[in-house]
Amino acid sequence: MVKHDAQSGTGTMSTRPESKMWAVGALGQKLTLDDLPASGVTRWYPRLKAEVVAAVDGGLLTDEEACRRYGLTFEEFTGWKLGLGRAGLKALRATCVQQYRAKYRRDQQYGG
């Protein structure tokens, strides 16, 4: 189990119960599994997407667990991670995702 230090952003191994595990959330707050969106989310706001990415990056979930829990394809989740890393929360807006994907494809096609 990984417990993250909010100031340093690093994790340490812990033998505490899972309910004590936490990571640094997308907005810098303490994030636990209980803080994550419910598994039946139908409306994905950028902040919710970012929280799931932060949970995976912080070791609360694996990529596969997140995809299974939220009914996502691996490609969709990877797109969230890449978009968030490249342009922050604004990249996770539904209209921006389409724009960033198109730009990424053009850059890949023309070597940019």
Spell out the residues 6+ positions from residue 42 whose beta carbon is closer than 8 angstroms to its own: none
Q: 34-110 has which fold?
A: Arc Repressor Mutant, subunit A (1.10.10)
Q: What is the pLDDT of residues 36-72, one digit of tens each?
A: 999 989 899 999 999 999 999 999 999 999 999 999 9
Q: Are the C-beta atoms of 23 and 60 separated by less than 8 Å?
A: yes
Cα 107 from Cα 48, distance rounded (Å): 28
Name the pTM for this structure: 0.69
> Per-residue confidence at 4, pLDDT binned at 50, 70, 90?
very low
Label residue 40 exposed, middle or buried (CB < 10 Å: 0-12, 13-18, 19+). Answer: exposed
Domain segments of the chain: what residues? Answer: 34-110
Q: What number of other Cβ atoms are within 10 A of residue 60's Cβ? A: 24
Share of the chain above pLDDT 90, in %: 51
Cα 80 from Cα 98, distance rounded (Å): 11
Q: What is the pLDDT of residues 28-43, one digit of tens each?
A: 999 999 999 999 898 9
